[in-house]
Chain A
Amino acid sequence: MPPVLRGENVKRKEKITTFVFILPWLVSFCIFVLYPIVFSICVSMTDYSGLTWDMRFVGFSNYARAFKDRVFLKALSNTLLFVLITVPATTMISLLLAVLLTSGIKFKRLFQAGYFLPSVISMVVISMIWLYIYSATGPLNTLLRSLGFDVPARSWLASERTALGSIMVMDVWSAVGYYTVLFVAGLQSLPLQLYEAAKIDGATKWQIFKRITLPLLKPTILFVVSINSIRSFQIFTEIFTLTGGGPANSTQTIVHYLYDVSFRKFEMGYGSAIAYVLFFIVLAITVIQRKILKGEQL
């Protein structure tokens, strides 16, 4: 048998083995990523209900409808507000904690684990705890009353004015630990020589932080801000469990509205269009983050 042929055989066998090894991902990718993405974009241009197979091509009118739909616009503005407030708050608090944790204190790991605990607890459980904390006779009102404040006897989540803010506070509380861990890792990877040099030059701690730490930490900050924004744009569980979007849509968010439209009102065509709007927002954040990072490195 000529050796070339044998080589071909081996090559073919190699190819088949590789294929078999990749197969699980390929199958899962095609069924749970590729097909949904393509199917979604098609469905988003129909009036598909999800209950029957009847569908009519409607072009981009679902997208146009979204931007005329007052509830969707409310959901969009609520989500934007949510992102614009919680992301900076979470970033600042977790950066502060990370700086404190890396300042050479004792029991660092213990503190870090304590801050991190809320981020492993599921959002449903966290929502239940805060439902209790915010309730009319709950711990928060008990505390405020004992401090002499005159608080109305109703849940913080039941009023249009306080509901979204209360959920934001809860979200910041639950997310801070996760980003603290990322910042601690980022801070620990910074080069020590620069700090030594700055100390010799007589720089104050604040100067060191502003001139050295912050610029060097920029990639980490950018990363934290972008993944936190992406996560916050997808906020759903806390809304679903705590308020169901109410009162009067004051806590309606994009994903909760998507759920309402697709799985309660069964307008899956419209729901898919909303999903795509969300997808483009997330994509935009990713692209912007990449652009900024590349600009930094050049």
Chain B
Amino acid sequence: MRVLIYALLIFFLVISLLPTFLMFSTAFVPEGDLFNRTIEKIMSDFEAPRTVLLMRVRPIGKTFELVKEDQNSFARLDSAKGVKGLAFSIGSSDINRLSHVVFKLRSSSTLRMVVSFKDIKENVERFAEIVIDPTPSWKTMRVDVEAKKMKLDVLHVSQLRMEIEGDGILDIDDVTLVNRYPTLYNFVKILREDYFGRYLLNSTIVSVCSVLGNLFFCSLVAYAFARKQFRMKELLFSLVLSTMMIPPQVTIIPTFILMRKLNLINTYWALILPNLVTPFGIFLMRQYFEQLPTELDQAARMDGAGDFRIFWNILLPLSKPALSVLGINTFVLTWNDVFYPLILTTSREMRTVQIGLALYQKLNVFTWPTLMAASTIAGLPIIIVFLIFEKRIISGILEGAIKS
């Protein structure tokens, strides 16, 4: 029985965590997806017929010779016949993800080989020079690529070039480009190509302002509901609670019209103002204030303190647990909000990270690793907040639930 319970619990745990794990692990894949990773890209193994090969591999100088030996084909570059090298076309590729180039060779005499890339603007940059000693058997060579140090247009590279200097015969086979794995480049790409840095900044500004606003204003209002006596207090408070029930979709159209009238569309104000005082915050803080002893305020009042002094100097410092619950929950809710930011912003510069992510997927041609990297950027801050403040977040939810 025990075993069965644990088995079930672990089964559900795996289901519950697996998708998030997939997101993280795919974000570090260079190309393809987690189950179909393209870590190696074979430029040529010279097995194809010559006519097909020539579409991808161009000779530099005179044409190369295709040799077949023990069911294995390779290219033979004979300097006596005027062959200077090979050029492999790679379309228009981003070589930032590349780690190194691997190929097999054997040569009859000492030769020098220059490896270079050419971009779509025909700039050529050499990144390695190797001296090849004569070897009778195949030898695997590895040449590292450091795209960061290159001056040519590394985002649009069209050719990998291998040129030989010196006299002799050189055989080449299995030329392969190898990607870095795991790579952080997907994140770099997302931050550079789209405005994800800006989106993160927007989300942070909006969330932090909403948190501060909620902490201050909700406790201010809650103080009145907890400590002051006034007419229609209970009626007003039930009004506060009932606004929690109103679906945000009912108020969005008038809010949008209002914001447009005030010229606040595409400003931080439009995103912050509607979230500044939330009924949940008022409710939470009132509950907390009410269970603090009133003797404290009475003593302060004897000393001549006014309401604001009592609120600011006595009640607030005592309410740190409730304030942190409110702060963290507000942060999570504002960070994850979609409906309001989607409608109240139209320009790219003002999108929050959630909207940025949703529209990145809708408007761009993306690959799974880059999309998962973008999702990680949008999701990770909340996951970190959750891992640190798990207890506070859950107690905030329970507080909210008790109201019923």
Q: Which residues does A use to contact B, with CB under 8 Å?
A: 14-15, 17-18, 21-22, 24-25, 28-29, 31-33, 35-37, 39-40, 43, 50, 93, 96-97, 100-101, 103, 105, 111-118, 120-133, 135, 137-139, 142, 173, 176-178, 181-182, 185, 223, 227, 230, 233-234, 236-237, 240-241, 244, 255, 258-259, 262-263, 268, 271-272, 275-276, 278-279, 282-283, 286, 293
On whether the beta carbons of B249 and A173 are closer than 8 Å, the reply is no
On whether the beta carbons of A24 and B217 are closer than 8 Å, the reply is yes
* Chain A residues within 8 Å of B115, by CB: none
Point out the residue from A31, A33, A105, A282 that lies within 8 Å of B258, measured CB to CB.
A31
* Chain A residues within 8 Å of B386, by CB: 113, 116-117, 120
Nearest residue (CB) in A for B307 is A17
* 9 A-B pairs with the lowest CB-CB distances in the bound complex, closest first: A122-B336, A36-B251, A36-B254, A21-B224, A125-B379, A39-B254, A24-B217, A28-B277, A128-B375
CB pairs A–B below 8 angstroms (20 shown): A15-B230, A25-B221, A25-B282, A33-B251, A36-B251, A50-B253, A103-B5, A112-B394, A114-B16, A115-B13, A115-B16, A116-B393, A121-B382, A122-B336, A122-B338, A122-B354, A128-B371, A230-B245, A233-B247, A275-B249
On whether the beta carbons of A138 and B33 are closer than 8 Å, the reply is yes
On whether the beta carbons of A97 and B12 are closer than 8 Å, the reply is yes
On whether the beta carbons of A37 and B35 are closer than 8 Å, the reply is no
The verdict on B349 contacting chain A, using a C-beta distance below 8 Å, is no
Nearest residue (CB) in B for A178 is B397
* Chain B residues within 8 Å of A120, by CB: 332, 336, 382-383, 385-386, 393
Q: A177–B358 Cα gap in the complex (Å)?
A: 24
B258 to chain A, nearest CB (A): 7
On whether the beta carbons of A279 and B357 are closer than 8 Å, the reply is no
Point out the residue from A18, A128, A268, A272 that lies within 8 Å of B228, measured CB to CB.
A18
The verdict on B52 contacting chain A, using a C-beta distance below 8 Å, is no
Binary flags per residue of B295-316, CB closer than 8 Å to A gives 1, else 0: 0000000000011100100000
On whether the beta carbons of A223 and B397 are closer than 8 Å, the reply is no
Nearest residue (CB) in B for A127 is B358
Q: A185–B394 Cα gap in the complex (Å)?
A: 10
* Chain A residues within 8 Å of B35, by CB: 137-139, 142
A9 to chain B, nearest CB (A): 15
Point out the residue from A236, A259, A276 that lies within 8 Å of B250, measured CB to CB.
A276
On whether the beta carbons of A111 and B379 are closer than 8 Å, the reply is no
On whether the beta carbons of B276 and A24 are closer than 8 Å, the reply is yes
B298 to chain A, nearest CB (A): 15
A257 to chain B, nearest CB (A): 11
The verdict on B48 contacting chain A, using a C-beta distance below 8 Å, is no
The verdict on B8 contacting chain A, using a C-beta distance below 8 Å, is yes
On whether the beta carbons of A279 and B23 are closer than 8 Å, the reply is no
Binary flags per residue of B29-57, CB closer than 8 Å to A gives 1, else 0: 00001111000000000000000000000
On whether the beta carbons of A278 and B343 are closer than 8 Å, the reply is no
Q: A17–B397 Cα gap in the complex (Å)?
A: 32
The verdict on B255 contacting chain A, using a C-beta distance below 8 Å, is yes
Nearest residue (CB) in B for A205 is B1
* Chain A residues within 8 Å of B34, by CB: 139
On whether the beta carbons of B378 and A122 are closer than 8 Å, the reply is yes
The verdict on B22 contacting chain A, using a C-beta distance below 8 Å, is yes
Nearest residue (CB) in A for B17 is A114
B367 to chain A, nearest CB (A): 11
On whether the beta carbons of A118 and B16 are closer than 8 Å, the reply is yes
Q: A283–B282 Cα gap in the complex (Å)?
A: 22
Binary flags per residue of B8-20, CB closer than 8 Å to A gives 1, else 0: 1100110111011
The verdict on B274 contacting chain A, using a C-beta distance below 8 Å, is yes
Q: A260–B47 Cα gap in the complex (Å)?
A: 54
The verdict on B179 contacting chain A, using a C-beta distance below 8 Å, is no
The verdict on B80 contacting chain A, using a C-beta distance below 8 Å, is no
Q: A21-B228, A120-B382 are in contact. Are A132 and B394 (CB under 8 A)?
A: no
B381 to chain A, nearest CB (A): 10
- Most-contacted residue by chain A among B6, B34, B256, B257 (CB, 10 A): B257
Q: A132-B371, A223-B401 are in contact. Are A111 and B13 (CB under 8 A)?
A: yes
Q: A28-B276, A132-B368 are in contact. Are A37 and B251 (CB under 8 A)?
A: yes
Q: A176–B9 Cα gap in the complex (Å)?
A: 13
B243 to chain A, nearest CB (A): 5
13 further A-B contacts with Cβ under 8 Å, apart from A241-B358, A259-B343, are A17-B308, A18-B228, A32-B255, A36-B253, A50-B256, A111-B13, A116-B393, A125-B354, A126-B19, A129-B375, A133-B22, A182-B401, A223-B401
* Chain A residues within 8 Å of B361, by CB: 128, 131, 241
* Chain B residues within 8 Å of A279, by CB: 246-247, 250
Nearest residue (CB) in B for A28 is B277
